[in-house]
């Protein structure tokens, strides 16, 4: 049990220790904000198509980041097990 807690804390520390994430560029941020603020979403009132498009876009971005975090966690876990 102590090892599981240790590995979890190690993963959290590793994930939070990055102050600058080179994977997110200024251009990517501008494009994301530009899309979410664009007129093509036709407003973002709850339940309207623009709201659903914005929610889907944000969910996809989170899923991509979560998959990367899972890979990092698995790498840390495998290194801990090898020790």
Looking at residue 38, what DSSP letter applies? S
The pLDDT of 47-53, averaged and rounded, is 86
**What Cα–Cα distance (Å) separates residue 21 from each residue in 25, 28, 65?**
8, 12, 11
Number of domains into which the chain is organized: 1
In terms of Cβ atoms closer than 10 Å to its own Cβ (0-12, 13-18, 19+), residue 76 is middle
Whether the predicted pLDDT of 38 surpasses 70: yes
Q: Which domain holds residue 56?
A: 2-82
What is the model's pLDDT at position 13? Answer: 62
Instruction: Express each pLDDT in 66-79 by its tens digit.
Output: 777 777 777 777 77
């Amino acid at each position: 049990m102590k090892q599981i807690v240790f590995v979890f804390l190690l993963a959290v520390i590793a994930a939070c220790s990055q102050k600058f994430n080179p994977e997110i560029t200024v251009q990517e941020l501008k494009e994301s904000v530009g899309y979410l603020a664009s007129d093509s979403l036709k407003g973002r009132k709850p339940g309207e198509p623009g709201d659903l498009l914005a929610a889907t876009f944000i969910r996809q971005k989170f899923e991509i980041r979560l998959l990367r975090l899972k890979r990092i966690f698995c790498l840390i876990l495998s290194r801990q097990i090898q020790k």
